[in-house]
Amino acid sequence: MNVAKLSNEPERLPRLLPEYKVYRDAEKYTAEIRLPGVQKKDISLEVADRSFSLRALKEDAEYFLCYLFAYEVNEAEAEASYKDGLLKLVVPLKEKLEASQGGS
């Protein structure tokens, strides 16, 4: 079956899951997300009380990531930096964890 593209329909970029790591200690979450080929102006990041979502565009693809935190975070104090294709996000926990609490 041959399906014709409608002329007014925008061409969609492939969606990619970026390479990422998330660490947690007693006070904060730290996420490191690799976004090769993406300019800072093309990154959209949203942090909520138990999650973050990321959308980043590059010329030939779109990165998309949603992550759920195991513990509530203080999104108002979240900090992000971007350098050399690496986005670093630091989000404090709402309440400091006791040493005996597990999870991520």
Residue 52, number of CB atoms within 10 A of its CB? 23
Q: Which residues contact 17 (CB under 8 A, 6 or more apart)?
A: 63, 64, 65
Q: Which residues contact 45 (CB under 8 A, 6 or more apart)?
A: 52, 53, 54, 80, 87, 89
What pLDDT does 36 receive? 96
Q: How far apart are the first and last CA of the chain?
A: 47
- Range name among 1-5, 8-12, 38-42 with the lowest pLDDT average: 1-5
User: What tokens were used for 79?
Assistant: 């900090």
Please write the tens of the pLDDT for every residue from 54-90.
Answer: 999 999 999 999 999 999 999 999 999 999 999 999 9
Residue 45 has pLDDT above 70, yes or no: yes
* Domains defined for the chain, CATH in brackets: 15-92 (2.60.40.790)
Please write the tens of the pLDDT for every residue from 15-40.
Answer: 999 999 999 999 999 999 999 999 99
